[in-house]
Amino acid sequence: MNRKTFIYNSGLAAASMFLPKSVFAFTGSPANKVVVAVMGTNGRGEFLANSFAKLPDVEVGYICDVDETVLAKTIESVAKITGKKPQGVTDIRKLLEKKDFDALVVAAPDHWHTPASIMALQAGKHVYVEKPCSHNPQEGEWLVKAQQKYNKLVQMGSQRRSFSNVQDAVKKLREGAIGRVYFARGWYTNQRASIGKGKEVAPPANLNFDLWQGPAPRRKYRDNLVHYNWHWFWHWGTGEALNNGTHELDVIRWGLGVDYPVKVVSAGGRFQFQDDWETPDTQTITYNFANNTGCTWEGRSCNRFESEGSGRGVIFYGDQGTLVYVTGNSYSIYDKENKKVVLEVKDDTPMDPTNKVSPFEKLEFVHLTNFVEAIRGNAKLNAPIEEGHKSTLLPQLGNIAYRTGRVLTCDPSNGHILNDKEAMKLWGREYEKGWEPKI
């Protein structure tokens, strides 16, 4: 057993000592096998299905997708790994009637994340939900309440919470490696093309667009929406701030040791192209917290010029130095004068920059393993939904500040927007009749 494995296993054993036995109650699959179903498997969802299929004593029992082509493709890709085809289901409601699986993996579009997760909890399933865990702040609060009510595990896909050296970096911040940490900066860049001007046309025969919309009020199908561009429409998506900024802001919130902001400001726009894209392609968000700390996040969807040699990352500033984390699982600490590297921690896990859904595949396995081991009763979740909601709320507040064009003043105890009825209208959303989430 190498040192990393020993530390990981020791951590799992130690974690179990601090949790009530009820959290570890597992009455699902026999012989410690965990059976999962994966919902939404175009791109990221297929990666998750294949990844869970590779884990020891884990079976991908079901694939759920509203696109018959995607459904068949994912079933085949899992079968190539395991030699066994999972069952295919189109309607999530039919899937959740099944009793022979333990957890639902939610990788459908953002407007599905909370509704599907709540439905799964009500069906007695554990949940692994991709970031962002919710489409709007109200949903995030509902999901936290649902998890508490139905007493099942809910892990958000904040993979960096399971990266060993990121955990170590946060520990170093807590120990005062750069003195008092008072500010952080995060960024994300890409080189996305224009989505053009879409036309209202009939959905393709292989796509059940009614089920694709699910809880979202019905809109007509357009030819530049599915499968990815929905991210840039407020009705279904949440923009780059939640599509990617959630990761950096989660690390920032973790490192600063904060929960909810007291002030939020945002500016930006759709600058690069004139098309149907509604959310900003360029955005800055600034936060102040009650403990006299702050942070910024910058997103550039259409210009990949790197910062600190990386297209994404986080820098923490302290009164005695600086900690730089630029993606992956490596970080550096600089002295007070920022002239000398006093600590450099590197990780040799291979990266595949051509992999658009997961350039750090092997690192992600640790996060998925953490979820499975928590179901078995051998670990504590690294990214429980209480933390996932707080980290998702930060970019959601940024988007509300952007859309209203105003400074938001927030309650530091729960993040609620104070004295601004117009902004609070964006706290939740309307739902298609019959699809309203109910706890």
pTM: 0.92
Q: What is the mean pLDDT of the chain?
A: 93
Percent of the chain whose pLDDT exceeds 90 = 88
Q: Are 105 and 128 in contact (CB under 8 A)?
A: yes
Q: Are 228 and 301 in contact (CB under 8 A)?
A: no
What pLDDT score was predicted for residue 5?
40
Burial of 161 from C-beta contacts in 10 A (0-12 / 13-18 / 19+): buried
Q: Which residue shows structure tokens 């995030």?
A: 140
Angstrom CA distances, 21 to 4, 185, 292, stand at 27, 40, 38
Confidence band, pLDDT 50/70/90 cuts, at residue 15:
very low
What pLDDT score was predicted for residue 361?
84
Write out pLDDT tens, residues 106-130: 999 999 999 999 999 999 999 999 9
Write out pLDDT tens, residues 47-89: 999 999 999 999 999 999 999 999 999 999 999 999 999 999 9
As a 3-state breakdown, the chain gives helix, strand, coil percent values, each rounded to 5, of 35, 20, 40
What pLDDT score was predicted for residue 25?
37
Q: Is the pLDDT of residue 418 over 90?
A: yes
What pLDDT score was predicted for residue 318?
98
Confidence band, pLDDT 50/70/90 cuts, at residue 357:
confident
Phi and psi torsions of 381, nearest 5°: -60, 135
Q: Is the pLDDT of residue 14 over 90?
A: no
What pLDDT score was predicted for residue 60?
98
Q: Are 249 and 186 in contact (CB under 8 A)?
A: yes
Name the nearest CA neighbour of 353 among 296, 406, 310, 405. Answer: 310
Phi and psi torsions of 334, nearest 5°: -110, 155
What pLDDT score was predicted for residue 297?
98
Q: Are 60 and 82 in contact (CB under 8 A)?
A: yes
List the domains of the chain with CATH numbers.
3-160 (3.40.50.720), 162-196+221-355+385-424 (3.30.360.10)
What integer is the mean pLDDT of 414-436?
Answer: 97
Phi and psi torsions of 33, nearest 5°: -80, 140
* Rg for the chain, CA atoms, rounded: 21
Write out pLDDT tens, residues 16-36: 333 333 333 334 555 689 999
| DSSP secondary structure string for all residues of 131-168 | SSS-SSHHHHHHHHHHHHHHT--EEE--GGGG-HHHHH
Q: Are 181 and 317 in contact (CB under 8 A)?
A: yes
Neighbour count for residue 8 (Cβ, 10 Å): 19
What pLDDT score was predicted for residue 18?
33
Highest mean pLDDT among 23-37, 347-361, 413-427: 413-427
Length of the chain: 439
What is the C-alpha to C-alpha distance for residues 382 and 162, in angstroms, rounded to an integer? 6
What integer is the mean pLDDT of 364-371?
Answer: 97
Q: Which residue shows structure tokens 């400074």?
A: 407
What is the C-alpha to C-alpha distance for residues 164 and 147, in angstroms, rounded to an integer? 27
Q: Is the pLDDT of residue 355 over 90?
A: no
Write out pLDDT tens, residues 170-202: 999 999 999 999 999 999 999 999 999 999 999
What integer is the mean pLDDT of 358-373?
Answer: 92
Q: Is the pLDDT of residue 277 over 80?
A: yes
Angstrom CA distances, 315 to 13, 185, 288, 426, stand at 32, 5, 16, 30
Give the torsion through C-alpha atoms of 216, 222, 228, 232, to 10 deg: -70
What pLDDT score was predicted for residue 353?
65
What pLDDT score was predicted for residue 356?
74
DSSP letter at 431 equals -
Could you give the strand order of the β-sheet that contains 321-325, starting from the edge strand earlier in sequence? 341-345, 331-334, 321-325, 312-318, 181-189, 293-300, 282-289, 261-269, 408-409
What is the C-alpha to C-alpha distance for residues 248 and 185, in angstroms, rounded to an integer? 9
Q: Which residue shows structure tokens 């953490």?
A: 370
